[in-house]
Amino acid sequence: MPAFGNVEVAEAVATAGALPVFADIDPTTYCLEPAAVEAAVTPRTAAVVVVHRFGRPADVARLHALGRRHGLLVLEHGESESPYDEIAQRRERAAYLDAKLRGVRTPEGGVGHTYQQYVVRVPGNGRPDRDAFARAIRAKGVECRVPVKTPVHRLPEFRRCVSLPETERAADETLALPVDATLTKRDMQRIASACNALGGLLQPAL
């Protein structure tokens, strides 16, 4: 299962009497990376818990194929579904930000992305990092949130000595910007303007 996400999933696994084992994520989808899952499988592995993240589906075809190869149960933990018109409006707002934002890494849409959250990457490279970036745009009236503050494998009750570099990087760099259906064009312009005023975060520090 992924460590990037809800502790409730790990708690459910533990409640069922199993030991959560964490595998790394794909840095594009934020869902389990099939190769990382394959590397974590042992004779004691019973199941793979696939968590779809931010409206972007995991690579279920490869994960189900992996499950069949190893005789594992593959369980999917989805996100709440939204009405089609709401998804369409979120996609429209996401497309606007994709076109306008500078200096942050915008999400790759991919097939079926519903933008439950619009998650950008704000790498720390000597210029303002994600947390400083978030404080600055909040000061300009833009609501934003850190989607995963602490990966599950860092929490005391599930602490594991395991190498999850993409999970760690995502936890440090990701920030969710608003793309709610209620946002007006002026709201979207304000979001882009506030973010771009901090520009250059992807350029090498001088």
Q: Secondary structure of 85-145 in the HEC alphabet?
A: HHHHHHHHHHHHHHHHCCCCECCCCCCCCCCCCEEEECCCCCCCCHHHHHHHHHHCCCCCE
pTM for this structure? 0.89
Contact 7, 49 (CB under 8 A): no
**pLDDT tens digits in sequence order for the chain, 206 residues long:** 999 988 999 999 999 999 999 999 999 999 999 999 999 999 999 999 999 999 999 999 999 999 999 999 999 988 778 899 999 999 999 999 999 998 899 998 777 899 999 999 997 655 558 999 999 999 999 999 999 999 999 999 998 778 999 999 999 999 999 999 999 999 999 999 999 998 654 444 33
How distant, in Å, are the alpha carbons of 53, 59, 79, 114, 143 from that of 9? Answer: 13, 19, 12, 21, 27
Domain spanning 84-196: CATH superfamily: Aspartate Aminotransferase, domain 1 (3.90.1150.10)
User: Tokens at residue 105, please?
Assistant: 């890494």
Residue ranges of the domains in the chain? 7-77, 84-196
